[in-house]
Amino acid sequence: MANDPITALVNGRVLLDGGLVDDRCVLIENGRILAIVAANDRRCAEGQKRDLGGKLLLPGFIDSQVNGGGGVLFNDAPSVEAIRAIGAAHRKFGTTGFLPTLISADLDVVAKAIEAVQAALSARVPGVLGIHIEGPFLNVERKGIHDPDKFRELDTDAIKLLTGLRGGRTLVTLAPEMTTPAMIRKLADGGVAVSAGHTNATYEQIRLALQAGLTGFTHLFNAMSQLTGREPGVVGAALDDPDSWCGIIVDGEHTDPVVLRISMRCKRHDRFMLVTDAMPGVGTNNKSFLIGGRKITVSGNLCLDDDGRLAGSNIDMASCVRNAISLLGLPLPEAVRMASLYPAEFLGLAHEVGRIAPGYKANFVLADEQLQVLETWIDGQAAS
């Protein structure tokens, strides 16, 4: 089978490891970055040239927590078609890699969701990287919008199910105090990324979970025990541990920007990653939707139930990046890395996505100076 012709992306401001650079040509072949060369390199003239008009060429965004989009909630329709629709909705906002996220459900629904993601991976649905299973192994004291009737113990059968996906990444959010370090270790040894969320754990319980293989914290500050003067809680453990990753929703609502700025002084920036926790309204004008029969109202970036309880967000990843710059005071390259390289590292995928570098997948965002997304590439295929 003949190789695809080489594509040459020219006249862009390209975000490389050292920052934004001009006068570079990005060569793409067979869905991957062949080379990054000087603009006057002969291979640029020989390839199929695409002039980027001086716009920003950024690594594609990666979102590890996507409940829905385009009017679709993954829980309602755990299918290949739903995954495709959700991915298409978020792609318009720069997300070129995502984990469709299932909130607490019965294990037969979890099994159906895993089967759908397996099929989506086989069908090469653009952007899908695996699955995020958020619950049902959670603490009712920090249930949030989750249905506590779905909560259950993490047992051997559940672990067998959760470690069954092949060819993609599985992320499981659980409450460490509702299981044991030994069970967390079994998940981690089975290739699952384990994150703490909807948890009322103590600092000591989180410390033991980290030793057992816990590597992340789901929507830091939300639905977890807080940092206090006498008990550091989950938040204190997350900020005290230098190596674990913290997902943050930078919408100005889930967590006060001042709190996030303080948090980012506690550990390296490369251990914070942007997530949307997006619900079906992203990419639509819909003002409400249902979760388990409960009406959720969309108000700006917020999704609220009738009691005023947060139910995910209505924000996209490009907006999160812009907010990381305007609300957290981060330079553009660092804000973009929090949406690309750092989540790739968390998911164990930093060898092929999250950077613009030779050998990596040709997953890009083309944006203007205001970080409005103009076009995306996934595996070298462009879409506006």
263-282 burial: b if 16+ Cβ within 10 Å, else e: bbebbeeebbbbbbbbbbbb
Query: Is residue 108 annotated as part of the catalytic site, yes or no?
Result: no
Question: Collapsing DSSP states into helix, strand and coil, what is residue 198?
Answer: coil
Using CB atoms within 10 A of its CB, is residue 51 exposed (0-12), middle (13-18) or buried (19+)? exposed
Contact (CB, 8 A) for 102 and 74? yes
DSSP E strands: which ranges in 224-363?
245-248, 272-274, 288-291, 294-299, 302-304, 310-313
Taking the CB of residue 320, how many other CB atoms lie within 10 A of it?
27
Nearest residue to 177 via CA among 153, 147, 159 = 153
Phi and psi at residue 382, to the nearest 5°: -90, 150
Report d(CA 236, CA 227) in Å as an integer.
5
Cβ contacts of 126 within 8 Å, gap of 6 or more: 84, 87, 88, 91, 96, 378, 379, 381
C-beta separation of 90 from 282 below 8 A: yes
Contact 278, 313 (CB under 8 A): yes
Residues 6+ apart with CB under 8 A from 375: 365, 366, 382, 383, 384
- Dig out the tokens for 268 from the structure: 């390296």
Residues recorded for the chain = 384
Catalytic residue selected from 241, 277, 306, 316: 277
Nearest to 350 by CA among 169, 124, 191: 169
Residues involved in catalysis = 277
